[in-house]
Amino acid sequence: MSRLDTWISPSPTSFAKPTVTSQHKVKPRPLQRRNGKKPPPVDSDKNCHKITEFFPVRRSSRKTGKQIELEEKDALKEAIYTLANEKHLEVYYDDAKGRGIKARREFLQGEFVCEYKGKLMEYNEAKELEEEYSQDASIGSYMYFFKHHSRRWCVDATSETVYKGRLINHSALRPNLKTKVVEFNGSIHLILIAKRNITSGEELLYDYGDRTPETVAKNPWLISS
């Protein structure tokens, strides 16, 4: 037998062409109903977060005008009743005017300085007492008359006390203080506030305000100082 006779013919499948995979995209099949029910919808809200979850909302801390007014009123009331500024006032002596008061710290325009503290009385009672004082030349004038809610009042600070407001001198030409009437729970207070910015060491002055001819005749310095 020849060598050719011993060669075995290959099987027809030995040279089969390789299978070519299809390049066409397979369309996804639609969701099938289970038990005849439609699949539940996707809750998009569970995957969406609000920006406020990460950045808290800023709430306004601004105060209303009414709140600011009440706080300022409470602060003024406390300063009056605790005599907070008495330690910032210094008594000094002047050859021409006698005793006076200087500031020991700066005061800003509109700031409370001190109270003109004395005995509060109605006008008629005060005028009778003023007449008695006039009989004694050694008694100085420490009575301050003013009007509040259409009624006339007077603070009599004639008696010697530790309160320094009664020693503040007069000036019609260069005052750095002005008077103001305030009331807390029916209690009337005559206070002095800064008319302008006041420096430390500066003498405190305010206009006594009395311009009646009789008073000016006895006290000409009321209009000249």
Q: Looking at residue 204, what is its pLDDT?
A: 98
Q: Could you tell me the residue ranges of all domains in the chain? A: 88-222
Query: Positive or negative CA dihedral for 208, 140, 107, 171?
Result: positive
Q: What is the mean pLDDT of residues 93-114?
A: 95
pLDDT of 9 higher than 60:
no
Picking from 49-63, 72-86, 168-182, 195-209, which range would have the lowest pLDDT averaged per residue?
A: 49-63
- Name the pLDDT band for 97 (thresholds 50, 70, 90): confident
Nearest to 179 by CA among 112, 79, 125: 112
pLDDT, tens digit, 9 for 90 and up, residues 116-157:
999 999 999 999 999 999 899 888 879 999 999 999 999 999
Domain 88-222 CATH assignment equals 2.170.270.10: yes
Distance CA 76, CA 175 (A): 22
Predicted structure pTM score? 0.68
- Name the pLDDT band for 12 (thresholds 50, 70, 90): very low
- The type of residue at 120 is L
Cβ-based burial of 154 (10 A; exposed 0-12, middle 13-18, buried ≥19): buried
Tell how many helices (H) and how many strands (E) occur in the chain: 5, 10
